[in-house]
Amino acid sequence: MDKIYLNSMKFYGYHGLFPEENKLGQHFTVDLQLEAELKEAAATDDMTKSIDYGAVHEVTKKIVEGPARNLVETVAEELAETLFKEFALLEGCLVRVNKLHPPIPGHYDSVSVEIYRSRSE
């Protein structure tokens, strides 16, 4: 299966268990690996035979910058489900949601949740 990558998309969201996360918000990045058959798109140079990266970004932004969720796991799952609804050519997707500055004890660059979903599941 062919793959499209959208890496390190940056957003500001309000997800987390702590009230200050829901009120103040924080930075998130999202990485996507989208699986689709792209041979026809390449052969015909026809965008309708591929997945529009800009449209994927807009869907991602709407979810990550949308209603607050307690868990980034929920954000990742909602993103995968919405991508399948919006893009008929999508066969599989790897979604990684990165919380850049988690308010938890210890020293972290980030914490991440990564899920893989396929249309056949």
Task: Write out the DSSP string of 67-114.
Answer: S--S-HHHHHHHHHHHHHHH-TT--EEEEEEEESS--SSS--S-EEEE
82 token code pair: 């919405």
Domain count, the chain: 1
Determine the average pLDDT of the residues in 35-60: 97
What is the per-residue pLDDT for 2? 98
- 18 pLDDT above the threshold of 80: yes
State CA 16 to chain mean position distance. 17
- pLDDT tens track for 56-67: 999 999 999 999
Domain span at residue 33? Answer: 2-118
Residue 104 sits in a domain of what CATH number?
Answer: 3.30.1130.10
The residues carrying an active-site annotation are 99
